[in-house]
Structure 1
Amino acid sequence: MAAALISGEDGARVAEARATLVRALIGPEGEAEMRLDRMSGAELRREPSRLLDALKAVGFFPGPRAVLLEEATDGLAPVISGALDAWAPEDARLVVTGAGLPSKGALRKLFEGRRGAVAITLYDDPPTEGEVGDMLREAGLTRVEPGARDDLVALAQALPPGDFRGLLERLSLHQMDAPEPLDAGVVAALAPQAGEAEVDDLLAAVTEGRRDRVAPLLARLSAQGTGPVAVTIQALRHFRALLAVASDPGGVNAGLAALRPPAGGARRQALTRAAESWRRERIEDGLRSLVELDLALRSGGRVPDRALLERALMRLASNRAE
């Protein structure tokens, strides 16, 4: 296989599939041995020759190499096609990820019709009861009371896939040394509260520069009764965590491991993507603007609170897109 395209609406599922494929291609130590070259779609647009250079590069350490291109869009299809035309078996394997790529778009057509390339599309169908059981076993949750299992099956239908996986991670940590089986009370205590998953989606949209998602997600939160001050507080926590992860001298993974409380599921994936794409100065600017927003919301003024919040989040999303 020369190249693979992974696409889907759920960023957490795409990131999980990407990580699994990259590990299969270069092994668990491949990234530590500098046999993985990462780049974003925006970086490739600025420097189209970078992809072929990365595929042809010779690594310092022996072993298979991979090039990871994230946030790819259909506009990059000609560049990717040209690089694959020049690909040889001794070159690095190419892994491309994209969000919500259309079935008849240029990228999916390129990978689906090209020999030596594969296209993997992840759909957001909720897991069945049997699949939930498999996920519980994989998370080490083998002692689960029937009521708790029923609640988890229901939550799997209601939560985004990344949020449900994050819940299983929290439950697994909670039950690690617990003498009693997992019960419905623990599930209720650790499950995302109303609006929490939507706030995570909103903050992921902001840090990924998806300005078109900001207003609809804010409207949904407002309809659920989540106010601008509550959203701002969570945004401040998110950007403080993002700054800690991006500033860790040991790198992004070390920063994530040091977070307290730990981040899991979709939130962890969002922090990972943002830490890899936001410069530290941008994160610090974002924190300052959120502090100013918090003060403005608490002091009152002529401009409606929701309008102030939307304006501030749109500016942050624009900062990511620059």
Structure 2
Amino acid sequence: MNLRGAQAARFFAKPDPGTAGALIYGADAMRVSLRRQELIAALAGPDAEAEMRLTRMSGAEAKSDPASVTDAVKAVGFFPGPRVVLVDGVTELQAQPVLAALSDWAVGDAALVVTAGALKKTSKLRKAFESHPSAVAVGLYDDPMSAEEVAAAIAAEGIDVTPEGRRGIEALAATLDPGDFRQVLTKIALYAGEEEVGPEAVRLMAPATLEAGADEVIAAAADGRAAAIGPLMTRLAGQGVTPVTLVIQATRHFQQLHMAAVSGGVGALRPPVYGARRDAMERQVRDWGARRLEAALALLMETDLTLRSSSRAPAMAVMERALIKLSMMGRG
């Protein structure tokens, strides 16, 4: 089944417990990541990972061990409760283990959550999830958040907001990425406390754009300029950019590079890329190649998992080390 709009939002908030799986795909890695987190929490609960009811793997790991996805879906958990198998960042070339697991799924198996970049209508992954009687496919695009999504986000933060304040929040939702919007909404909730949120609170918490600085450090990693990464990371940390935001944006960039490498170049990307950014991406695709880009995505997924885990390692240092590793891989 193919879900869109409000129907998709309702599914993410309250999925059918008998769902075989869900494919979440789109060019914006931040949107995909947020929906992935929301769906896993709704399917298996907030303690799924601690209770070992969540199995994570990348598309590259699934491809290297084709039986691993089916084995994970069929496995019997030590703790009672619903289980989820997440296969993150799957490409068409890595789809076969996922398709086999979905085909073999039976009632009582773990739910299969799969994420991917932008997929064409002819995609094998899309066709499999759309045609499966118990699975869904959800495409996420760069459209502004709907009024229903904004209202749900406000309710989740427990914010009491005036009509003017709500209009200000809706304006932020129309201009910010979903991840940045949720961070700002959390800041507004903390700032307001028990008080009603008006337009002044929204104005004070609205961020200055930090996108350019994040793009700069990611470009340094993709271009192999390791020496530039440390100073850029120091500046971004001072501006309040989080490591999770950086890893999501880096994943988005390298997913685009990989898509270009396997689908005929940067010109095949949708939405299209123009100007100096296109020239830089074309050079990076030539320098990296599909195989090393797959390794880069695997490294970024490992970093993402570390940042979201209970690890005590300094998060910004973990992210900086990953970017330096990427810069070395690009030169390798």
TM-score after normalising by structure 1: 0.64
Gaps of 5+ in 1: 216-226, 243-262, 291-311
Shift of 1:39: 0.7
Shift of 1:134: 5.0
Shift of 1:229: 9.4
Secondary structure, aligned partner of 2:112:
strand
Residue 88 (str. 1) matches residue 106 (str. 2): yes
Shift of 1:167: 0.9
Query: Take 2:237 and 2:322, find their aligned partners in 1: how far apart are those partners?
Result: 10
> What amino acid sits opposite 1:40 in the alignment?
S
> What amino acid sits opposite 2:183 in the alignment?
G
Gaps of 5+ in 2: 1-18, 251-299
Corresponding residue of 1:142: 160
Query: Take 2:240 and 2:163, find their aligned partners in 1: how far apart are those partners?
Result: 37
Corresponding residue of 1:172: 189
* Further displaced range: 11-20 or 49-58: 11-20
CA distance change for structure 1 residues 109 and 21 in 2, over 3 Å: closer, same or farther? same
Q: In the TM superposition, what whole-angstrom CA distance separates every residue of 1:189-215 from its partner, at most 9, and x where no partner exists?
A: 322213x13434666x679x9x49x99
Corresponding residue of 1:306: none
Query: Take 1:135 and 1:286, find their aligned partners in 2: how far apart are those partners?
Result: 28
Corresponding residue of 1:109: 127
Residue 276 (str. 1) matches residue 318 (str. 2): no
> What amino acid sits opposite 1:168 in the alignment?
L
Largest Rg, 1 or 2 = 1
Shift of 1:20: 2.6
Query: Take 1:107 and 1:239, find their aligned partners in 2: how far apart are those partners?
Result: 37
Shift of 1:236: 5.9
Corresponding residue of 1:197: 211
Identical pairs, percent: 35
Asked if the contact 1:35–1:61 (Cα under 8 Å) also holds between the matched residues in 2, the reply is yes
Corresponding residue of 2:203: 188
Residues 1-322 of structure 1 aligned to structure 2 (within 5 Å): 1-128=19-146, 132-144=150-162, 146=164, 148-178=165-195, 181-194=196-209, 196-200=210-214, 211=222, 231-235=232-236, 242=243, 266=245, 274-276=303-305, 287=320, 315=327, 318=330
Asked if the contact 2:27–2:117 (Cα under 8 Å) also holds between the matched residues in 1, the reply is yes
Asked if the contact 2:30–2:177 (Cα under 8 Å) also holds between the matched residues in 1, the reply is no
Asked if the contact 1:70–1:96 (Cα under 8 Å) also holds between the matched residues in 2, the reply is yes
Secondary structure, aligned partner of 1:53:
helix
> What amino acid sits opposite 2:327 in the alignment?
R
Shift of 1:94: 0.9
Query: Take 1:52 and 1:238, find their aligned partners in 2: how far apart are those partners?
Result: 44
CA distance change for structure 1 residues 112 and 233 in 2, over 3 Å: closer, same or farther? same
Q: In the TM superposition, what whole-angstrom CA distance separates every residue of 1:203-235 from its partner, at most 9, and x where no partner exists?
A: 6x679x9x49x99xxxxxxxxxxx999844345
Q: How many residues are aligned here?
A: 258
Corresponding residue of 1:222: none
Secondary structure, aligned partner of 2:189:
helix
CA distance change for structure 1 residues 313 and 132 in 2, over 3 Å: closer, same or farther? same
Q: In the TM superposition, what whole-angstrom CA distance separates every residue of 1:106-125 from its partner, at most 9, and x where no partner exists?
A: 21122122333211112221
Q: In the TM superposition, what whole-angstrom CA distance separates every residue of 1:66-90 from its partner, at most 9, and x where no partner exists?
A: 2111111111222212223333323
* Further displaced range: 88-97 or 11-20: 11-20
Query: Take 1:77 and 1:201, find their aligned partners in 2: how far apart are those partners?
Result: 29
TM-score after normalising by structure 2: 0.62
